[in-house]
Structure 1
């Protein structure tokens, strides 16, 4: 019987590649997006594409209902992936901005996952895969809002894994480093909406550092991998008999995980403070 997977954030990057990659492996893929035009484009590519916007609870309910109606009430796996950034120094991030990014990167994930767990309990199995980040392991300056959401996802996922240990529902983290995507470009509207950098005490640092990285593409990162690197780990996470609790993707993630185990916080701060 064909297995089914719901993947969020499929308009581009990791989600788009995962949708194509998992379909090629024989899965029935529900490739969700948060904007209708992207859902229409995915449908033109042959996917079932429910509208799911993590910041709109009604779409979480209706999108999942669409999936369950199509499958007869079952779902083998979910890949929570859709997210966005809000670059800027934390002292310049207004609480409304932090609330906005948590709605998209944490609360919506939690709501969708809560609705899926009863389905997986009823069928006796399932895989919940969360796309975290190297920034769920270590903090980088100027990325505090995004870091906070990924730390939250790490904590929620680790706890959920413990709570579901006596079931056949496996809860898994994928932790990519630099992956080719549109995350930087898509974070610009949030930066312009929420960050008043011109009146910041760190204005000069914005001009010499963040603004250039944000608005001037410098090409691929030294360790950047294509989205297919994440898809490969996703496939193992949902197909392996005993999936790992965590899957690192890219060299920086392996380095970050290693540094956390062997170095003091002060030493890690010195290494990461100028990134």
Structure 2
């Protein structure tokens, strides 16, 4: 396992469990205690965890920082591709309708949708400029890009115009991305306008499928846009702590765990 992948899993485990121990992590990842200490030092420097004697504890603050699409696409890229492949199984029957939220993992799914045998039969609605352009450039004709204000950092359409249009729509399946997922705060993101769009997708879909790599589990962003009760399926990667997976399943959420290799 590469150091970056190990640190990603340590960050997720710390966020979910609240506290991690150097000795236990050393045994879990089959590396020396000194290697784990270096990992925790890097994560502490990045503000992901707080180092304490013998281990680390999770950061408790609500996050507000957002990263560019380019930076997001480089983060956990292997896991995101595997998650997108698993999400294909939840596409509706021919002639069905789909909501595609803005996000890099959803973008990976959109690329896969374009090559599906039934691609031209689906009606697709999105608030993502890159996703709409990608689908249209691949020849899909039933693609609707919502109108409104474009957020530069995410290239997502937001605002009252888009929300009014969404109020008239329904879809068989909504594929949703998120900045964070916790049991108490649900799905959350940094921007209130983008949260409102995500919430509209969730509200007006018959089935909600969340594409969420394990780095986002146990974290909280400022604005919650859906509770655990709103979710039907969560697709994540093998870095997700088993305790968190079990708790989601206890709340009747279907959890799919993919191998991010």
- Same fold flag (TM > 0.5): no
TM-score by length of 2: 0.39
Q: Normalized per residue, which structure has more strand?
A: 2
Q: Normalized per residue, which structure has more helix?
A: 1
